[in-house]
Structures are given as structure tokens and as C-alpha cells.
Amino acid sequence: MSDFVVAAAALQAAGTDADLSPPFIAALRVSGVSISTLAEPFDTETVSASSARAALLDEIQLDLGEGPCWEAMRTDRPVLTPDVRSAVSDRWPTALLALQHADFRGVFAFPMRIGTIRVGAVDLYTDAAADPTEAFVSDATALAGIAARHVLHRALRAVERADTGDLPAGEYSRREIHQASGMIAAQLSVTVEDALLILRGHAFSSDRSVSQIAADVVSRTLDFTAPDVSSRNASGSGSASGSGSEGPSAPPTASESQPGSTDHDPDT
């Protein structure tokens, strides 16, 4: 029995709160896996990560609102970057710089979708540059499809629990970021969308994660009405302006190409 068949069966039988990462690692021989929800009506957050480094791969992209996982979900196609070090991108340039700074090598993103419902994406990475085979892409696409059903079920359950107020924050919850955005919106009399952009800009300019800045805002150790914070954030927001709102700012046109990554038809 092949590694893929065993992994697919294990993923299919995964329990309600089981870690979804091991089957991907066993079948695809990658260094790490992160799985995230990206599309409304679900929260944008990491659902599962095989390690702290895998969680960082997600965090970089979720903080910036751009990257291979966003593109994979938006285009409904795998986004394959065999070597981040030598890659170039005009679709997610800020995320690429951050991934290079974190010394990621091979990064491969696969969309999770069920029917017309866009759920999110699966990110895989390798510690060395790697050119994925057709079998790799096919197997990863199939596993992402199985994982999508689990993730959708969990996301719907989380929405239901949130409606009743019975929702503890998970390990990778970004609820604090949403709370901080609301607080900044109130402080500066701006929309929540602009508040999130300001939060991202401040994180980018201070070389910290959005989650860290959000924690300071919620704990009231950081107040954006303070003049020094506003001035620092003004320059920081400009640095991060390419990240836009919660998702990528505009879909690619048919004529655009992705240097450094290769789109494969999942049906191949």
C-alpha cells in the first residue's frame, strides 16, 4: 500500500480536533505543513501547523495579506515556488521578501475548496530547494481536498459556537487582531479595514508580528492616539501599503505570469 493511500485514509479518518498535518508529511516528504482558513465567512487564521516554523510560514502571509496561500485560494490553482531564495514576484513582493528573510526554500500552496465554497489553503515547505513532480502536485491536491472537508466542518462549528459565546481562543487564533483593529478604529475614528492596515503598517515598521502589536493594543500598552505612535505608523503604513486589506488587493489577469512559481492544473 502506497504512502499516499495510507495518508489519505488517515486524513479521511481524522477526528474532530485531530492534527491534520502528519498525513501530508508522511505522504509528501515535506519539512512542514500549515493549514489556514482565508475566505469569508470564516476567520483568517491558522487551523493546523506541524511546527513553529510552519506556523511562521502562515503568520507571514496572514499578517501581510498576500503570499502564495492567498494566490492559491484566489486562483483555485497550486502555486509552486521551488526556491524562495531565487524567486521573484510582482504579485506578493512583500511576502516574498519576508519569506526570504526567514530563509524559507521550497514553498508550495494548494487551495482548499468545496464546491463553490472557498475555504483556505494548505502550505507545504521544504528545507531545501525542491522541484515538485506531477505526482507530488496530484497527491498534495487530493490531500488538500480531503483536509478541506475537515477544515470546513471545524470552521462552521466555530462560527456556531461564536454565536453562542462559547468559543475559546485556539492556539493560532487571530481574534486578538480583530479586537485590536476595533480598538484602533475607535481611537482614530477610521474604518476597521483601515485600522487593520494601520496595525499591519506599524508591525512592519517595527519589525514585529501583527499578533504582537495587537496584544500590546489590547493590553493598552500601545495607544495609537499618542503622537509618536501616529508618526511612526504613518511611515510604516507606507511600507506595507502593498498588502492592502485582509486579502490580496486585486486578482491577476490572464496575461500575468508568476516568476519563481509554477501553476499546475490540479487535474493533471
pLDDT band at 227 (very low <50, low <70, confident <90, very high): low
Query: Does position 67 have pLDDT exceeding 80, yes or no?
Result: yes
Task: Look at residues 199, 232, 238, 254 and name the one whose alpha carbon lies nearest to residue 94.
Answer: 238
The span from the CA of 82 to the CA of 125, in Å, is: 9
What is the predicted pLDDT for the residue at 160? Answer: 61
The span from the CA of 28 to the CA of 7, in Å, is: 9
What is the predicted pLDDT for the residue at 75? Answer: 95
Query: Does position 133 have pLDDT exceeding 90, yes or no?
Result: yes
What is the predicted pLDDT for the residue at 237? Answer: 39
C-beta atoms surrounding 75 within 10 Å:
15
The span from the CA of 137 to the CA of 143, in Å, is: 10
pTM of the predicted model over 0.75:
no
Instruction: Select the more confidently predicted residue: 69 or 174.
Output: 69
Instruction: Select the more confidently predicted residue: 30 or 261.
Output: 30
What's the mean pLDDT when you consider all of the chain?
A: 80
What is the predicted pLDDT for the residue at 233? Answer: 43
- Range with the lowest mean pLDDT among 115-124, 167-176, 214-223, 237-246? 237-246
What is the predicted pLDDT for the residue at 154? Answer: 81
* pLDDT single digits (tens) 13-53: 998 888 999 999 999 999 999 999 997 777 788 999 999 99
The span from the CA of 60 to the CA of 247, in Å, is: 13
**Mean pLDDT throughout 53-62?**
95
Helix ranges (DSSP H) in the chain: 3-12, 22-28, 52-64, 68-75, 93-101, 134-163, 175-188, 192-205, 210-218, 227-239
Residue 16 and residue 27 in contact, taking contact as beta carbons nearer than 8 Å: no
Q: Based on DSSP, count helices (H) and strands (E) in the chain, helices before strands.
A: 10, 6
Query: Does position 163 have pLDDT exceeding 60, yes or no?
Result: no
pLDDT band at 88 (very low <50, low <70, confident <90, very high): very high
Query: Does position 77 have pLDDT exceeding 80, yes or no?
Result: yes
* pLDDT single digits (tens) 230-244: 444 433 433 333 333
Query: Does position 170 have pLDDT exceeding 50, yes or no?
Result: yes
Instruction: Select the more confidently predicted residue: 263 or 33.
Output: 33
What is the predicted pLDDT for the residue at 228? Answer: 57
Instruction: Select the more confidently predicted residue: 80 or 221.
Output: 80
Instruction: Select the more confidently predicted residue: 222 or 244.
Output: 222
